[in-house]
Amino acid sequence: MNTNDIYAVIMAGGGGSRLWPKSRNRRPKQFLKLISSKTMLQETVDRIRSLVNIENVFVVTSAQYVNEVKSEINGLPEENILTEPQAKNTAIAIGLAAAKIYKLNPKAVIATLASDHLIKNPREFRSTLLRALKAASKGNYLVTIGIHPTEPHIGFGYIHSNGLKFKIDSKPVFNVESFTEKPNLVTAQAYIATGLYFWNANINAYSASSILEAFKTNMPKLYKGLTRIRDSFGKSDYQEVVTSVYENAESIAIDTGILEKANNVLMVPGDFGWSDIGSWKELHELSPISVEGNVMLGDESGEHLFIDTKNCLIHSSGRLVATIGVEDLIIVDTVDALLVCPKDRAQEVKSLVERIKKEKRVEYL
């Protein structure tokens, strides 16, 4: 596999609601500095720089975030920022990028990544991703990375592996039996007991031709639209064609639209400290712990003062946050909104955001 044939597609259009009130539509999670002095998007790009030439990195995002993407990624060609006219989930986002990349290089092998994941071991991640790319280049395969589960997590989807297909760099590549959406606790425990199930990290690899063929087989209506988009690249009606295709496209994830239906899906196991940071509780678990199990986050001007406070995550955006006699809380203070909730109910933040939407309090979204 030629290095010049390796491409990466980073999906950075999501609005983000699970880390509200810090993550908002105007500045979602991928543009926040949560784990370092760099944003999640910058971390994602840095992680793959030694694998993929920056000229071969594409970012799919919405129009409102284009300038942010430009300012955050040094050296990214402007034409590599693919703008979606509306959010329609990951199937069409990946299809849009695959159509563009295939027109540029029919031999391309593509890695598709989220822009807002945490990877604790970047070196092992790159090694795993390279194996997935190599596996994808061996034939008409759709390759996904499965994370070795460390607990019966009910917030992730699962991949059911089914026997060895071949080895890459002396490491196994498995056939995939099925994908399962977020299970209940009893089911998740049963999955882990078999040793055959892995967390679905939504990190995939495929040749441009293989993924487009998969669209043709499993989502033929969208495939016709992607063909129109491919043929319009560089022409005056390109944006008009994209808008038309998006208006008529189904909003569906790549897993549901393609991977769950295809019979040529393979899985490369991975163990590189992955998390999608799906809640404030997860961020607490992943962040450096200070005194009494507390995690202190926030802007440089934010301050914290606590007495008899344990196992809390406290985020301040410029004001002093003081606590007395509390434990296991999430406290996130921003300029216009304050969140206080038990740590074990952090997953319900998404429901809170839905209520804000329902009540049309758009200024808080």
Q: What is the 3-state secondary structure (H, E, C) of 279-290?
A: CHHHHHHHCCCC
Between 18 and 134, the higher pLDDT residue: 134
Q: Can you tell me whether residue 251 is helix, strand or coil?
A: coil
127's CB contacts (< 8 A; 6+ apart) are none
CA geometry: angle at 335 spanning 332 and 340, to 5°? Answer: 25
For the ranges 275-279, 285-289, 308-312, the maximum mean pLDDT occurs at 308-312
- Confidence check: pLDDT of 207 > 90: yes
Kind and range of the H or E run holding 229: helix 220-232
Q: What is the pLDDT of residues 145-185, one digit of tens each?
A: 999 999 998 889 999 999 999 999 999 999 999 999 889 99
Contacts of 252 (CB under 8 A, 6+ apart): 88, 89, 91, 92, 219
- Report the amino acid identity of residue 238: Y
Structure confidence by residue, pLDDT tens digits, 323-357? 999 999 999 999 999 999 999 999 899 899 999 99
φ, ψ for residue 185 (rounded to 5)?
-65, -45
Residue 196 has pLDDT above 70, yes or no: yes
Strands (E), the chain: 6-11, 57-62, 81-84, 109-114, 118-119, 142-147, 158-168, 171-180, 197-207, 265-270, 274-275, 295-298, 303-307, 313-316, 320-324, 329-333, 338-342
The torsion defined by the Cα of 57, 61, 66 and 69, in degrees rounded to 10, comes to -50
| Average confidence (pLDDT) over 30-53 | 93
How much is the pLDDT for 298? 80
At 326, phi and psi to the nearest 5?
A: -125, 160
Residue pLDDT, tens place only, 309-329: 999 999 998 889 999 999 999
pTM, two decimals, is 0.92
Q: Which pLDDT belongs to residue 26?
A: 86
What is the CATH number that goes with domain 3-275? Answer: 3.90.550.10
- The pLDDT assigned to 36 comes to 85
pLDDT in tens, 45-92: 999 999 999 999 999 999 999 999 999 999 999 999 999 999 999 999
- Report how far apart, in Å, the C-alpha atoms of 225 and of each of 75, 112, 216, 248, 317 are: 30, 20, 10, 9, 44
Paired strand residues for 351: none
Model pLDDT for residues 58-71, shown as the tens digit of each residue? 999 999 999 999 99
Contact 140, 205 (CB under 8 A): no
Q: What are φ and ψ of residue 40, in 5° steps?
A: -60, -40
229 pLDDT band, cuts 50/70/90, is very high
| pLDDT tier, 243 (very low <50, low <70, confident <90, very high otherwise) | very high
The structural domains of the chain, with segments of one domain joined by +, span 3-275, 280-364
Please determine, for residue 15, whether its predicted confidence score (pLDDT) is greater than 80.
Answer: no
**Token representation of residue 244:** 């038309």
Asked if the model's pLDDT at residue 301 lies above 70, the reply is: no
- The pLDDT assigned to 290 comes to 80
- The pLDDT value recorded for residue 138 is 95
HSE, side-chain direction, 13 A CA sphere, residue 4: 3
pLDDT score, position 322: 94
